[in-house]
Amino acid sequence: MRAKTNGIEIEYETFGSPADPTLLLVMGFSLQMIDWDDRFCAMLAERGFRVVRFDNRDVGLSSKIASTKVPDIGGLLRGDHSSASYALDDMANDAIGLLDAIDVPSAHWVGMSMGGMIAQLAAILAPDRVRSLTSIMSTTGNRAVGQATPEALSVLLTPVPWERDANIARSLAIWKILASPKHGIDDDTYRARAALAFDRSFHPQGVARQLAAILSARDRTAELARVRAPTLVVHGVDDPLIGKSGGEATAKAVPGAELLLVPEMGHELPPRVWPQIVDAIVANTKR
């Protein structure tokens, strides 16, 4: 299904009954809505939610943004944001507009990684649209917290191959670094996931623009102090991409936020932690 919002079109899917409260899932950097596993979505729907997942702009089947700007990663890291085509605020407004398009006044927001940043901004920009907020493996925008390990940053910034098999191999290598060092990943599962994503949409220019939006994002710490939605912050203790200090800082910034640190979880959402995280999300929505 597609919805017109904020001057673009957003691809989305729903699980559960339209009569139930809406829970909006916001995916992270470069990933498509299908990376919210169907089984995870079904678990939330079974707990009494109309679950909505969607492709962020520039990935999946949502609109690709026409821009002549080529992100200058070095410049962005030095504080020159002129090469960013859009901001995370724009992506938050995309998601808010999606709620308008499907006639939902307010929703429970669950964002992962970049999606957590987007969900935080929704709670800042449009507090009446956010019934509860769950920020998973994310951070505040303060570069003093949530730093990546050199290995995680290096593998994420490796050149993107255009050939299908090489692209899938790169994706597998990334997830091996981002996953829990104790549990690792199931190669076949992640290979199949990468193949499905490549076949559905391969658009590296859009991924680069998303990265520019992240690198040009402001520190949200002071603004998060104004958030009044019940907030849950979930973070893996072993996260190599956004260190757990990012989650700790987020929970500290939002008044009354609850922090759930998950042992032996990296920058991923593996099936073994789903029951714990679903329980925590549901409990937060009831606050």
What would the pLDDT profile of 236-249 be if each residue is shown by its tens digit?
999 999 999 999 99
**pLDDT value of position 247:** 98
Nearest to 199 by CA among 248, 148, 164, 251: 164
pLDDT in tens, 149-207: 999 999 988 899 999 999 999 999 999 999 999 999 999 999 999 999 999 999 999 99
Domains plus CATH for the chain? 2-147+203-285 (3.40.50.1820)
Helix (H), strand (E) at residue 136: strand 130-136
pLDDT-based confidence at residue 217 (cuts at 50, 70, 90): very high
Whether pTM exceeds 0.75: yes
For 27-42, letters b (16+ CB in 10 Å) and e give bbbbbbbbbbbeebbe
**In the predicted structure, residue 75 carries a pLDDT above the cut 90:** yes
**pLDDT value of position 262:** 98
Range 42-52 average pLDDT? 98
How far is residue 162's CA from residue 175's CA, in Å, rounded to a whole number? 18
**In the predicted structure, residue 67 carries a pLDDT above the cut 90:** no
**pLDDT value of position 156:** 86
Provide, rounded to the nearest whole percent, the portion of the chain with pLDDT above 70.
100
For every residue of 149-199, DSSP letters joined together read: PHHHHHHHTSPPPSSHHHHHHHHHHHHHHHS-TTT---HHHHHHHHHHHHH
pLDDT in tens, 6-20: 999 999 999 999 999
Give the chain's mean pLDDT: 97
How far is residue 60's CA from residue 284's CA, in Å, rounded to a whole number? 29
**pLDDT value of position 121:** 98
